[in-house]
Chain A
Amino acid sequence: MSGWRAGIAATLLALTIWQVVVWTTGVARFILPPPVLVFETIWDDRALLAEHAAITMAEVLIGLALGAVLGFISAIGLASSSSTRALVKPILVFSQSIPVFTLAPILTLWLGFGLWSKITMALIIIYFPVTSSFFDALMRTNKDWIGMAHVMGATPWRIMWRIRVPSALPGFASGLRLAAVYAPIGAIIGEWVGASRGLGYLMLLANGRAKTDLMFAALIVLAILTILLHASVNKLCEKTLDRGFP
């Protein structure tokens, strides 16, 4: 049993446990709605959920694209100059000691209640994993390839572009895989702090009105979308960035 079969089995197991807990404890529906009710809500409110999910996914995808591009450029910048490294690396490491959640209110203040504060939140949360996994891969280039390139009369920039960057693409891909899972977290945090649309906003709203079934419905939709995003990014990386590597 492997792959999607195992996934379905695990999902069924989790749903069964959930249902059994509801049955045995007799817990109220506004505390923990049974899974059947949650799936009914997903179906009944599909238009509402789709509308908010589209907003969240737009934030996630734009954040992911921008974070990937910024991470790509930053890692090359860091890898190509030791003085940049000395200057910027401490800042990067320091920035990681700040809990990103605390930045959400200030981003809303600066960028408003629209998409950009959420996109920026997603970007900030994925920037470091993308940059650092690509950077590490760039610094691990086979020394003998670089020696060979020197013997052939290559300039540092061409060594970077022809050898170091292509050899580090699998590292960039693993950063992107992480980013696909983190980016939705960033967007949701942004929506919690201040938004009028999006799954995060919907969850907060449903929770406040004791519509726990809708809260769970939004949560499950978000989880499914995140899994689909991760799977698509994974597939895309396998077909492009990882090609030719053992």
Chain B
Amino acid sequence: MTAAPALHLSGSAKISDQLIFEDLDLKIAAGEWTCLLGASGVGKSTVLRLFAGLGDGIDLAGEMTGDPNVALMAQDDLLLPWLSALDNVLIGARLRGEVADKTRAHGVLGRVGLAEHAHKRPGELSGGQRQRVALARTLMEDRPVVLLDEPFSALDALTRSQMQELTAELLVGRTVLLVTHDPGEAARLGQTILIMTQDGLSGVDTPSGAIPRPVEAPNVLQTQAELLLRLRNT
């Protein structure tokens, strides 16, 4: 993995002449977790698509300093149902025509706790296990920038908190942009927390402590409550 870069996006974006956001100035610090919160339809996904290089159809008037080497993990695990967990982890290499490194893929599946399930197809795994395969696939890509689009929102509360911890541990040192609806998630994982509204971005004081922060820490709960109130007032 090359050194994790900082990202920057400024300007306005339209999709088929409809304004998505205006005068945005988003800076994402290198090697850190930035959480982007906001109501639906405010343009968070558009930001993510631009950084992912999937900006076809998005009309950006402004500047973007991105990185072509990104990995994407979304709410839907996007596992291919006809492939085993192992082959899903290897899909990136196969799509690029590279040699598939099975030893490393087994290792990565081991790190997400699925060593025993490598041969299983997605249909045989639970929702949490599938999302761990998606995390393994993201790690296998080994990109300096990781874009997370509400990756834990479809999971139950217990699985979600475990996945938050595992992901924070395994993605350490990378530039991570996490788009989320969940104030608690942002309070646990954000080294920078931003709220996106029609009027632009606003920062929020980040709780002290290394991520993943404990769920029960008073400052984490405090930030979670503040974020919820801020979101309700936007």
Query: Which A residues form the contact surface with B (CB < 8 A)?
Result: 142, 144-145, 147-155, 158-159, 162-163, 166-167, 169, 243-246
- Please state if B81 and A150 are interface contacts (CB–CB under 8 Å): no
> Most chain-A CB neighbours within 10 Å: which of B74, B83, B95, B96?
B95
Q: How far is the CB of B10 from chain A (nearest CB, A)?
A: 22
Tell me whether A154 and B95 are in contact in the complex, defined as CB-CB below 8 angstroms, given that A145-B78, A148-B72, A246-B123 are known contacts. Answer: yes
Min Cβ gap B71→A in Å is 7
Chain A residues, Cβ within 8 Å of B70: 151
| In the complex, chain A residues whose CB is within 8 Å of the CB of B72 | 147-148, 151
| B interface residue numbers (CB < 8 A to A) | 52-54, 70-72, 74, 76, 78, 80-83, 91-92, 94-97, 121, 123, 141
Whether A154 pairs with B96 at a CB distance below 8 angstroms is yes
Knowing A167-B80, A244-B83, A245-B81, the reply to whether A152 touches B96 (Cβ < 8 A) is yes
Query: What is the minimal beta-carbon distance from A159 to any residue of chain B, in angstroms?
Result: 7
Query: Is there an interface contact between A144 and B74, defined as CB atoms closer than 8 Å?
Result: yes
The residue that B82 contacts in the complex, of A152, A159, A166, with Cβ under 8 A, is: A166
B80 near A163 with CB under 8 A, answer yes
CB distance from B13 to the nearest CB of A (A): 17
Q: A152-B95, A162-B91, A162-B95 are in contact. Are A147 and B82 (CB under 8 A)?
A: no
Chain A hits for B94, CB < 8 A: 158, 162
Q: List 28 A-B contacts (CB under 8 A).
A: A145-B78, A147-B54, A148-B72, A148-B78, A149-B95, A151-B53, A152-B71, A152-B92, A152-B95, A153-B92, A154-B95, A154-B96, A155-B95, A155-B97, A158-B95, A159-B95, A162-B94, A163-B80, A163-B95, A166-B82, A167-B80, A167-B82, A169-B82, A243-B82, A244-B82, A244-B121, A245-B81, A245-B82
Q: How far is the CA of A221 from the CA of B176 in the complex (A)?
A: 67
With A151-B70, A166-B82, A167-B82 as contacts: A244 and B141 at CB distance below 8 Å: no
Residues of B within 8 A of A153 (CB): 92, 95-96
Contacts of B95 in A (CB 8 A): 149, 152-155, 158-159, 162-163
For B81, what are the chain A residues with a Cβ–Cβ distance below 8 Å? 244-246
Apart from A151-B53, A162-B91, A162-B95, what are 20 other A-B pairs with CB-CB below 8 Å? A142-B78, A144-B74, A144-B78, A147-B52, A147-B54, A147-B72, A148-B78, A150-B54, A151-B52, A151-B54, A151-B71, A152-B91, A152-B92, A152-B141, A158-B95, A159-B95, A166-B80, A244-B123, A245-B81, A246-B81
Closest 8 CB pairs of A and B: A154-B95, A244-B82, A152-B92, A151-B72, A158-B95, A153-B96, A152-B95, A148-B78
A163 to B82, CA, bound (A): 10
CB neighbours (8 Å) of A243 from chain B are 82
Contacting residues, chain B, for A163 (C-beta < 8 A): 80, 95
CA distance in complex: A142, B80 (Å): 10
B122 to A: closest C-beta gap in Å: 8
| Closest CB in chain A relative to B156 CB, distance in Å | 21
- CB atoms of A144 and B96 under 8 A apart: no
Bound-complex Cα distance A154 to B97 (A): 8
Report B232 CB to chain A, min CB distance, Å. Answer: 30
User: From residue B172, how far is it (CB to closest CB) to chain A in Å?
Assistant: 21
Query: How many Å lie between the Cα of A155 and that of B92 in the bound state?
Result: 11
CA of A166 to CA of B79, assembled, Å: 13
Closest to B97 in A: A158
**Chain A residue at minimum C-beta to C-beta distance from B93:** A152
Nearest-CB distance from A168 to chain B (Å)? Answer: 11
Assembled-state Cα–Cα distance A145/B72 (Å): 11
CB distance from A153 to the nearest CB of B (A): 5
Most buried by A among B76, B82, B94: B82
From B71, B80, B92, B123, give the contact of A145 (CB < 8 A): B80
Residues of B within 8 Å of A158, CB to CB, are 94-97
The answer for the CA separation of A142 and B121 in the assembled complex, in Å, is 18
Contacts of A167 in B (CB 8 A): 80, 82
Q: Looking across the interface, which residue of chain A has its beta carbon closest to that of B54?
A: A147
Provide the bound-state CA to CA distance between A167 and B91, in Å.
14
* Chain A residue contacts of B121, Cβ below 8 A: 244
